[in-house]
Amino acid sequence: QVQFVESGGGLVQPGGSLTLSCVASGTIFSIYALAWYRQAPGNQRELVAGITKDGRTNYADSVKGRFTISRDNPRNAFYLQMNNLKPEDTAVYYCAAPQGSKTSIWTADHWGPGTQVTVSS
pLDDT digits (tens, 9 = 90+) for 94-113: 999 999 999 999 999 988 89
39: helix, strand or coil: strand
Residue pair 93/115 in contact (Cβ under 8 Å)? The answer is: yes
State the pLDDT at residue 1.
82
Residue 93 has pLDDT above 90, yes or no: yes
Residues 44-67, mean pLDDT to the nearest whole number:
97
Q: In what order do the strands lie in the sheet with 18-24?
A: 4-7, 18-24, 77-82, 67-72
Q: What is the pLDDT of residues 3-52, one digit of tens each?
A: 999 999 999 999 999 999 999 999 999 999 999 999 999 999 999 999 99
Cα 90 to Cα 34, 40, 98, 114, 116, distances in angstroms: 21, 6, 22, 13, 8
